[in-house]
Amino acid sequence: MSKNRVSRRQFLSYTLTGVGGFMAAGMLMPMVRFAVDPVLQAKAGGNYIPTPQKVADITEVPTRVDFTFEQQDAWYNSEETGTAWVYKDDKGEIVALSPVCKHLGCVVNWEGDKSNPDHFYCPCHGGLYTKDGTNVPGTPPIAPLDVYPYIEKDGYLHLGKAEPKKGA
């Protein structure tokens, strides 16, 4: 007779532990998946958002481009609007700037102040930026306007997520 015989009590203990673990895993798996799913989807995102701006129509004068996109915030989908100031620089390169002031987040306007032509102007506290989005020293903003990465698709401008200007 083997010395490793399992007693009735041990058998019941192992069986109940196994069944309990199996049931707990069955209950926890949907919860873990529910919690992690949006995080995984956010990584898969990062796509460029189409705008109504035709690339061929972009000039050297900054133009306000409004666009809409769907945003997923955890499990809530909403339609959001975005804005960019878009122009072509001296080399013909497209520049797409965020309108969000780097002081306290108001919205800047191109030539919004008559006494400062060729500048972006923030009306909240008199912030100024040069055409390339660089903040003018002596005014409240402490950093350049964020820059949208972009692609051209089917003749239209598509924008990525605005990020701080490189080298700023």
Give the residue at shortest CB distance from ligand FES. 127
Is 36 a binder of ligand FES (CB under 6 A)?
A: no
Question: Judged by CB under 6 A, does residue 112 bind ligand FES?
Answer: no
99 binds ligand FES (CB under 6 A): no
Which uninterrupted H or E stretch holds 68? strand 63-73
Contact pick of 36, 61, 124, 142 for ligand FES (by CB under 6 A): 124
Residue 29: helix, strand or coil by DSSP?
Answer: helix
Does residue number 142 form part of the binding site for ligand FES (CB under 6 A)? no
Would you say 67 and 82 are in contact if contact means Cβ atoms under 8 Å apart?
Answer: yes
Q: Is 104 a binder of ligand FES (CB under 6 A)?
A: yes
| In the complex, minimum distance from the CB of residue 108 to ligand FES, in angstroms, rounded to a whole number | 7
What distance in Å separates the CA atoms of residue 10 and residue 45, rounded to the nearest whole number? 51
Inter-CA distances, 135 with 109, 114, 130, 165, 168, Å: 13, 18, 7, 11, 10
Binding residue (CB under 6 A) for ligand FES from 33, 54, 64, 125? 125
